[in-house]
Amino acid sequence: MDPTAVIIRAATPADLPALGRLAVHLMQTHHDFDRARFMAVTAQTERGYASYLGSRLGQSNTVVLVALYDGQICGYAWGSLEGVDYMALRGPAGALHDLVVDSGSRGRGVGGLLLQAAMAALEQIGATQVVLSTAARNESAQRLFARHGFRPTMIELTRDL
């Protein structure tokens, strides 16, 4: 894959089925990391996640981007501009909620392109800082984020009762 042939653009309603499929992959990956912490994929996940992302499209405080290669969606990013969050002990910031690249396109620069585009889009709508979370076992994502200037700031701990 030639990274210069990857197109990053705003998602449209026509993209939602592909985003739902990618979201299933995201959820399954996390569930495989820790089945007690992360939700399991169900028969409704693909449609439900796509519908949720569709409800975000066109909102002035939200960014949903897709990466296309050879006319096919191979990844997406979703983020939003959020206000003060006393629970997270932070001021207003952009929050990157999802960054997903299909398994056939990983390791080819698509994630970095999506990340850069998402940060630029969040900055354009007013973010002066971007925060994100990643699974503790998702070391490849952590390396990607570190290469793009992110630093660890919080650690989530989970205990089953």
Name the nearest CA neighbour of 78 among 155, 37, 19, 34.
19
In order of 69, 86, 114, 126, the CA distances from 2 in angstroms are: 9, 43, 15, 32
3-147 is classed CATH 3.40.630.30: yes
Using DSSP's 3-state secondary structure scheme, residue 21 falls into: helix
| Annotated domain spans of the chain | 3-147
- Give Cα 19 distance to the centre of its chain: 11
Estimate the share of the chain in helix, then strand, then coil, as percent rounded to the nearest 5: 40, 25, 40
- Residue pLDDT tens, the chain, 161 long: 676 789 999 999 999 999 999 999 999 999 999 999 999 999 999 999 999 999 999 999 999 999 999 899 999 999 999 999 999 999 999 999 999 999 888 888 899 999 999 999 999 999 999 999 999 999 999 999 999 999 999 999 999 99
SS3 sequence, 101-151?
A: ECHHHCCCCHHHHHHHHHHHHHHHCCCCCEEECCCCCCHHHHHHHHHCCCC
